[in-house]
Each structure stands twice: as structure tokens, then as C-alpha cells.
């Protein structure tokens, strides 16, 4: 495993575009460096490593793995795979945010990134894209700026994962470092282990890892109990764990629901209609206040 990861243009760019203050940006970059640096060393392959990254809900997990992705590019990873969401709209949301936060279309000259969503087995362009990415990475006559990193986002779904694995198996990936990030709150673990069987999504993730001889596999989650308690011999059992510290700009459940929190408002009993009673003609004051706050929040984020 690598002890450190070099900060370069991509990771620094993600931090700068985050609009965090300087101290928070430095903490973000340090954390990302520790995460990627705990995985396999791209200069010492073949190797595999699995890591678990734990953060509170809304604690900046997406910004963290985006920075790690940028850092992977800075440290010579030619292939990055994000396994995100179990519904198309969630994957599209993650794909678009990555596109924006990595500034894929920004800058001058050749882009540092090629982004694709849900590769298709029957479309030869994806196999060609993978082959070209690997060929560029192996070409010692090319400058690093002439070797764009291929970033693939894929739905955490049986067929989608199977298609990607099929594509990867067609390639010579010996010595090619890859980063796989799994949004692990959804359906990654083997739910049939007690029946001496494998659940479908778990099998597909195992097959994906098997197709990559040199990679770091990172599970990002706010619910780490299951990954921590699985058999140490399990393929998803983490080799290392990193806990994200919420940034100064992050306000989560611990802040909202602490004792005597000013953010918690109790609905008066009088505002709650009795069971089977007719609906009130006028909305209660507590509902009106909640609607005003929601509208104010929506206008603020436009």
C-alpha cells in the first residue's frame, strides 16, 4: 500500500471549486490523500485493497470521493469506476454532479477526463474506448496530460454490472491500476451468506473486482455496521477504515436533534386533528410555518 498520494491539478481543482474555506479545503485534501494512500500503490502492481469510508449522513461523502477520484487521476490511475444508486435517476444525479465537480468540460486543450455512463456490451465503442485508454496509459512517449482518465459510472444493478465486467474481461489489464468506488449503503453485501449462497448484487461486485487485477475498492457509507461485521475472508471485508470528519459547513442530524436544539419545533397538540375527525378548513399555524421555511430554503438553493 502507498503511504501518501501526491496532490495535483485535479484534486486541488475539486477542493477549490467546493467553495470551502482554506482550512476546510486542506482538511479535505489531507483526508482524500489518506484514503487513496491506504489503498494499492499504482507504482507497485499487481495489488488489491479494499477500504471502508464512513461518514455521517450529509457529512460530505460525495465531495470526499470526488476529491479521491481527482487524486487518483493525479497519481496515474487510468480507470475509475463509480457504482452508484439502484435507480437511473440517482445514477444520473451522481454522474452529473461528478461531471460538474471535476469540471470535465473546463480548461483548455485535451480534457483530463472521459466520462461514460452505463457502458453497453453490444456497442463496440466502449470496448474501443477502454482499449485506447489502456494503450495511452502504457505509451511512455505520451505526456501525462495526453492520457485522459476514463471515468465510468454504472448503476448498482445486475445487468449493468455484468455488462461492465464482460467488457473488462476482454482486456489485458495486467499492471493497470483502477479505482472502484461503491456507494455502499445499498445492496452491496452478501445477504444469502447463511444459506451458503450469494446475493445477485454481491456476486456482480465480486466478479467486477475479480476482473481487475490491480485496484483499490472503496465503500462509502453512513451505515458501516454490516461491512465491519462480515467475515474477514469476505471479498468486501475492508483492509482499512477511514472516518470522515464533518466539515465546519456541514450541519447534520447530531446538530439538529441534540438536546434543546433551536432547530426542533414541537407541533402543538391542538394542531393535530383527532383520528377520524373532518379535515380542518384552515391550515394550522405550525403547518404554515413549515411551508414558509421550506419555500425559503427552495428559493435559497435556486
In tens, the pLDDT along 95-126 reads: 999 999 999 998 777 889 999 999 987 778 99
Q: pLDDT at residue 193 above 50?
A: no
> Does residue 109 have a cis bond before it (omega within 30 degrees)?
no
Least confident of 13-27, 66-80, 246-260: 246-260
DSSP 29: H
C-alpha cell of residue 174: 495486467
Least confident of 158-167, 230-239, 283-292: 230-239
Give the residue-averaged pLDDT of 59-77. Answer: 94
If one compares 188 and 15, the residue with the highest pLDDT of the two is 15
> What are the residue boundaries of the structural domains of the chain, listed by start?
9-243, 265-300
Domain 9-243 adopts which CATH fold?
A: Rossmann fold (3.40.50)
Amino acid 152: pLDDT:
98
Q: Which residues pair with 218 in a beta bridge?
A: 51, 181
Helix axes 61-74, 9-17, angle to 10 degrees: 160
For residues 69 and 149, what is the distance between their CA atoms, to the nearest angstrom? Answer: 10
Amino acid 182: pLDDT:
94
Tell me the pTM. Answer: 0.80
Q: pLDDT at residue 169 above 90?
A: yes
Amino acid 213: pLDDT:
95
For residues 201 and 97, what is the distance between their CA atoms, to the nearest angstrom? Answer: 24
Write out pLDDT tens, residues 88-98.
998 999 999 99
Amino acid 76: pLDDT:
93
For 251, residues 6+ apart whose C-beta sits below 8 A from its C-beta are 58
For residues 95 and 154, what is the distance between their CA atoms, to the nearest angstrom? Answer: 9
Q: pLDDT at residue 289 above 70?
A: yes
For residues 106 and 2, what is the distance between their CA atoms, to the nearest angstrom? Answer: 30
* Displacement of CA 283 from its chain's centroid (Å): 41
Confidence band of 129 (pLDDT split at 50, 70, 90): very high
Amino acid at each position: 500500500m502507498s503511504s501518501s498520494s501526491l496532490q495535483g491539478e485535479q484534486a486541488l481543482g475539486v477542493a477549490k471549486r467546493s467553495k470551502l474555506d482554506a482550512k476546510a479545503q486542506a482538511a479535505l485534501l489531507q483526508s482524500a490523500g489518506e484514503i487513496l494512500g491506504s489503498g494499492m500503490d499504482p507504482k507497485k502492481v499487481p495489488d488489491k485493497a479494499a477500504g471502508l469510508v464512513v461518514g455521517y449522513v450529509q457529512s460530505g461523502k460525495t465531495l470526499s470521493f470526488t476529491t479521491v477520484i481527482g487524486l487518483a487521476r493525479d497519481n496515474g490511475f487510468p480507470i475509475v469506476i463509480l457504482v452508484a444508486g439502484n435507480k437511473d435517476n440517482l445514477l444520473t444525479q451522481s454522474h452529473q454532479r461528478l461531471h460538474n465537480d471535476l469540471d470535465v468540460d473546463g480548461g483548455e486543450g485535451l480534457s483530463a477526463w472521459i466520462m461514460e455512463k452505463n457502458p453497453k456490451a453490444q456497442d463496440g465503442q466502449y470496448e474501443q474506448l477502454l482499449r485506447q485508454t489502456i494503450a495511452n496509459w502504457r505509451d511512455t512517449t505520451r505526456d501525462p496530460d495526453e492520457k485522459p482518465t476514463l471515468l465510468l459510472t454504472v448503476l448498482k444493478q445486475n445487468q449493468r454490472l455484468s455488462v461492465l465486467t464482460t467488457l473488462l474481461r476482454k482486456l489485458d489489464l495486467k499492471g493497470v491500476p483502477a479505482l472502484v468506488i461503491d456507494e455502499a449503503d445499498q445492496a452491496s453485501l452478501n445477504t444469502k451468506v447463511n444459506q451458503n449462497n450469494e446475493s445477485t448484487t454481491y456476486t456482480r461486485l465480486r466478479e467486477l473486482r475479480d476482473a481487475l487485477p490491480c485496484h483499490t475498492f472503496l465503500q462509502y457509507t453512513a451505515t458501516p455496521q454490516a461491512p465491519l461485521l462480515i467475515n474477514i475472508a469476505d471479498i468486501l471485508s475492508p483492509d482499512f477504515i477511514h472516518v470522515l470528519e464533518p466539515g465546519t459547513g456541514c450541519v447534520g442530524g447530531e446538530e439538529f436533534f441534540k438536546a434543546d436544539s433551536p432547530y426542533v419545533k414541537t407541533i402543538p397538540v391542538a394542531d393535530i386533528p383527532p383520528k377520524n375527525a373532518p379535515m380542518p378548513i384552515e391550515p394550522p399555524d405550525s403547518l404554515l410555518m413549515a411551508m414558509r421555511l421550506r419555500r425559503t430554503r427552495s428559493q435559497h438553493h435556486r
